[in-house]
Amino acid sequence: MNFKKILSRVLLIFCLWVILSSTSTAIAAPLEEYEIKAAFLYQFSKFVEWPELTSQESFTICIFGSNPFSKFIEDLETSEMKSKKVRVHLVTGTDPMDSCQILFIPRNEHKAAGIVQKIIPKRILTVGETENFLAAGGIINFIKQGNKIRFEINQKQAEASGIKISSKLLSVAIKVIT
Amino acid sequence: MKKFFGNLLIKQKLTLIIMLTSLITMSLALVAFSAKNLSGFRTLQKNRFAILAEILANNSQAALSFNDQKSAEELLNALKAETHVQAAVIFDAKGKIFAQYRPSLTALPPQIDFKESHFYTSEGLHTYFPVTLDNQIIGEVYIQSDLEEFRDYLRSYALFGILILLACLAAALFIASRLQRTISVPITNLTQLAESVSRDKDYSLRAVKENHDELGNLVDRFNEMLSEIQKRQEALVRSNEALSRSNRDLEQFAYVASHDLQEPLRMVVNYVDLLTLQWKDTSEPEVRQSIGYITEGAKRSQQLIKDLLEYSKVRSESKFETISSEEIFKGALENLQYTIETTEAQISHAPLPMIVGDPIKIKQVFQNLLGNALKFRRKEESPKIHVNAYKKNGDWTFSIQDNGIGIDQEYSERIFVIFKRLHTREDYPGTGIGLAICKKIIEQHGGKIWVESKPNEGSTFYFTVPVIHS
């Protein structure tokens, strides 16, 4: 009788714990991956210097191919970077990319390496999310560590492209190629 | 305190004054310097931590921007080198703890306001610095450092201050003990000289002048006074010698004269006695009367000469010894027994002390004074005499009080002069030498004699004898 009572109590507490912990996980659920990446693109602009940017009317973020950010693209479009209005362009391999400050190449673009090679001398911060993106000449590459988004930087390439990356940004990168 | 200070020697006073002055001024200066230095130290400490917080804020921009707690923590861990940091926290833009470094369990501030500020509490120095990026506040750095550094500084400063103070006091003591001599030594010398002058009565001593200041001036005046005293002392000694010489001559003369006068006078008395016998049956009254006058005159002359001889003999050497004044007094009473009985006098006395004196001469004083008290009685009343003695100012004061005719106070000096009489021989017989002898004896003993009296109310004769005979 007594044992049963205790057992039922324990079960009840266990159930409550399961419910509570699952709900709390739901509440504190991490932001969606591309929400974070959109925010990071925004933050990158603060630690990177583009030469000759002042002459431009707006700050252009180009996304190659399809848009993986879905609705979070609006967060970028409504923000200001380097005191300029932000414009987001979806570009394809044939489009001119001279006006882009940031070029994001999503994971599903297999031609990434080729694109990067193509724009090397142009002062564009290339951001990718594939494993060998930096080796192919990309400048910043997102890496997922557990449920966290981190990034690595190819400083050598940035210098070659004429882009100045703040040492502060380098300090939080998980890997820096120099 | 005042009494303590008053009892110190001049050199101790001077040293104490210098030491106290140095101590107080040094302490004030040290306190002022410490206050200035400590506030300077606080400003430095504040600035140091403000700069540290600013550097942290600057370096945590990227970590906050990319939500990189790990690198923020690494940043904070670098503070290990700062042993006085109790807590360092980076808050995110929402005021939540983003990264922290807490070597000890320090309480964290309940809320932050994203402003630059710093303040001290009992726990330590709290420094806040906002993290801004592109004019946007993205977080806040908070550093709490303990007060140990300040306390260490305070301790070392206090220790240093005390050492400085002690060293300066030692130096002050050294200098003071040297410098005070310029004032205290002449004063001490002068004091010692004055003491030896006063003790040895040597007025030929002179103080040595060392400085040309007020003390030197004092030495000069002191020496002037000494030479003045010396001159007067020498003059006094000379005139005293002259005086005593002439006194001695006079006494010698009186003694010789009275002694030599006795012989012819005795002859006169003898022959007058013979004449009286031859002419005792004469019927001529004029002859008898004349012989009577001659007899009386001759006898009075004899008495006078006898007293004069007595007076001049007082001068001769005295034998001072410790004697019972009471026994002396009783001996004098025996000599006056006849008069006491015939006048039915009542004589009382208090216990009388042991004194130092010549027993024969003191007895004479008692006898003369008691004799006077009996002689100058009032006709209608039998004499009442009381003798007393008391100690006062190092003297034994004797008093002989009677209820006789008394003396007008204006004669109270004159009665002690030889041959001075206030009454006719018919009223009160006597030669007028008794009190002069008393005065001479008492002065020889180093005492004084005087009278207090009112006519018709009685007299009190006083005389003093030093308790310790010099």
**Cα A99 to chain center, whole Å?**
20
Q: At B38, which amino acid appears?
A: L
Question: B384, B373 in Cβ contact below 8 A?
Answer: no
**Is a pLDDT exceeding 80 seen at residue A118?**
no
Task: Give residue B58's pLDDT.
Answer: 92
| CB contact burial A150-168 (16+ within 10 A = b; e otherwise) | bbbbbbebbeebebebeeb
Beta bridge partners of A64: A91
Three-class DSSP category at B281:
coil
Alpha carbon separation from A121 to A93, A100, A137, A160 (Å, rounded): 16, 13, 11, 7
Q: Band of the pLDDT at A4, cuts 50, 70, 90?
A: low
Q: Are strands B125-133 and B136-145 parallel, antiparallel or unpaired?
A: antiparallel
Residues of chain A in contact with residue B71, where contact means CB-CB under 8 angstroms, are 171-172
Nearest by CB: A171 against B67, B71, B133: B71
Nearest by CB: A46 against B65, B67, B68: B65
Which of B60, B67, B136 to mutate: most A Cβ within 10 Å?
A: B67
ipTM, interface predicted TM-score of the complex: 0.75
Burial class (CB in 10 A: 0-12, 13-18, 19+), B200: exposed
Alpha-carbon distance B171 to B178, whole Å?
A: 11
Task: Give residue A5's pLDDT.
Answer: 66
Alpha-carbon distance B4 to B27, whole Å?
A: 24
Task: Give residue A24's pLDDT.
Answer: 42
Q: What are phi and psi of A66, to 5 degrees?
A: -85, 160
0.95 exceeded by pTM: no
Q: Are strands B321-324 and B136-145 parallel, antiparallel or unpaired?
A: unpaired
Nearest by CB: A168 against B61, B67, B134: B61
At A125-162, the pLDDT tens digits run 999 998 888 888 889 999 998 888 999 999 998 998 88
The whole-angstrom distance between B69's CA and the closest CA on chain A is 9
Which of B59, B66, B69, B94 to mutate: most A Cβ within 10 Å?
A: B66
Alpha-carbon distance B320 to B444, whole Å?
A: 11
Beta bridge partners of B323: B355
Question: B366, B388 in Cβ contact below 8 A?
Answer: no
Alpha carbon separation from B338 to A97, B343, B381, B382 (Å, rounded): 169, 9, 18, 14
| One-character DSSP codes across A55-72 | TSSSEEEEEESS-TTGGG
Residues of A with CB under 8 A from a CB of B: 36, 40, 43, 46-47, 148, 150-151, 166, 168-169, 171-172
Q: What is the pLDDT along chain B (470 residues), one digit of tens a residue?
A: 677 888 888 888 888 888 899 999 999 998 998 889 889 988 999 999 999 999 999 999 999 999 888 899 999 998 988 888 989 999 999 888 999 998 877 777 767 888 888 888 888 899 999 999 988 899 999 999 988 888 888 898 889 889 999 999 999 999 888 888 888 888 888 889 889 988 988 888 888 888 888 888 988 999 999 999 999 989 999 999 999 888 888 878 878 887 888 888 888 888 888 888 888 787 788 888 888 888 888 888 888 888 878 777 776 667 888 899 899 999 999 989 998 898 888 999 999 999 988 888 899 899 999 998 988 888 888 899 999 999 988 899 999 999 988 888 888 888 888 777 777 776 777 777 888 889 988 988 889 999 998 888 889 999 999 987 65
Beta bridge partners of B42: none
Q: Band of the pLDDT at A25, cuts 50, 70, 90?
A: very low
Q: How many CB atoms lie within 10 A of CB B229?
A: 14
Chain A contact for B233, CB < 8 A?
no
Alpha-carbon distance A43 to B133, whole Å?
A: 10
Task: Give residue A8's pLDDT.
Answer: 64
Angle at B244 between CA B241 and CA B245, to 5 degrees: 80
**What does the block give as tokens for A138?**
């990309």
Task: Give residue A119's pLDDT.
Answer: 67
Which of A45, A49, A171, A174 to mutate: most B Cβ within 10 Å?
A: A171
Q: Are strands B85-92 and B136-145 parallel, antiparallel or unpaired?
A: antiparallel
End-to-end CA distance of chain B: 41
Q: Do A40 and B66 touch (CB under 8 A)?
A: yes
Size of interface A-B (CB pairs under 8 A): 31
Q: At B165, which amino acid appears?
A: L
